[in-house]
Amino acid sequence: MNAGFGRTGLGSFAGNGADPPRLQVPTSVWLKRGVLWLLAALVVGGAVWLLKPPSDGNVAQTEPTKLALASIDPAPPTSASDISAAEAAGLDRMKISSQTWRRGGLGSKALVTFTVRNDNEYAVKDVEIVCAFTRRDGTHLTDRSRVLADIVSMKGRKTYARVPVGFVNVNADQATCSLVTARRA
């Protein structure tokens, strides 16, 4: 005479050994709640990011940098007549004869390939270049410079392949590189 009361004392469930029913929330409700929390976190994170003041390293320059007149630092002369005024301003006898650029480092770095021609009667070293990056419409974005420690022989040329000149704006489409300084080797 079991009146339907088994181990649990709950009547009809005792005879088949099943547990009492639980309150079950459908998984779609949990999924909707998770998506809502994710959207809320994204909105709050985006608002914080927009309100944060920009750092100096991430701000694009709005004005192009004015380059100083280039000159070559001559080696100390053995006599005053050894170096003429034309040789002291010898950077005008140097030029970049060809240049291209591409992106590297997941698209954030500029890699420049160029050829430096030295038409001087002496070798030069520590050639400094400056590359100006612009948008497709010609708007200036940023300048990056690099000193090349190699020696370019007299009346010679040297090609530099994929030289990293620094981080570049994502919107940069064009680059123009120019020589700034060099020293007599």
Q: Domain spans of the chain?
A: 11-51, 57-184
pLDDT digits (tens, 9 = 90+) for 132-163: 999 999 999 999 999 998 999 999 999 999 99
Cα 147 from Cα 110, distance rounded (Å): 15
* Residue 73 scores a pLDDT above 70: no
Phi, psi of 80 (to 5 degrees): -65, -25
Of 98, 129, 104, 112, nearest to 175 by C-alpha is 112
- According to the model, what pLDDT value does residue 7 have? 52
Q: List the alpha helices (DSSP H) in 8-162.
A: 27-51, 85-88
If you average pLDDT over every residue of the chain, what do you get?
76
Neighbours of 178 (CB within 10 A): 14
Query: What pLDDT shows up at residue 93?
Result: 86
Is the domain spanning 57-184 CATH 2.60.40? The answer is: yes
The three-state secondary structure class of 19 is: coil
Task: Output the pLDDT for position 176.
Answer: 92
| pTM score above 0.85 | no
Are 53 and 59 in contact by the 8 Å Cβ rule? The answer is no
Strand extents, DSSP E, the chain: 72-73, 94-104, 109-118, 124-134, 140-152, 156-167, 174-184
Determine the average pLDDT of the residues in 57-67. Answer: 44
Give the pLDDT score at 32: 80
pLDDT band at 85 (very low <50, low <70, confident <90, very high): very low
Asked whether the beta carbons of 117 and 94 are under 8 A apart, the reply is yes
Q: How confident is the model at residue 59 (pLDDT cuts 50, 70, 90)?
A: very low
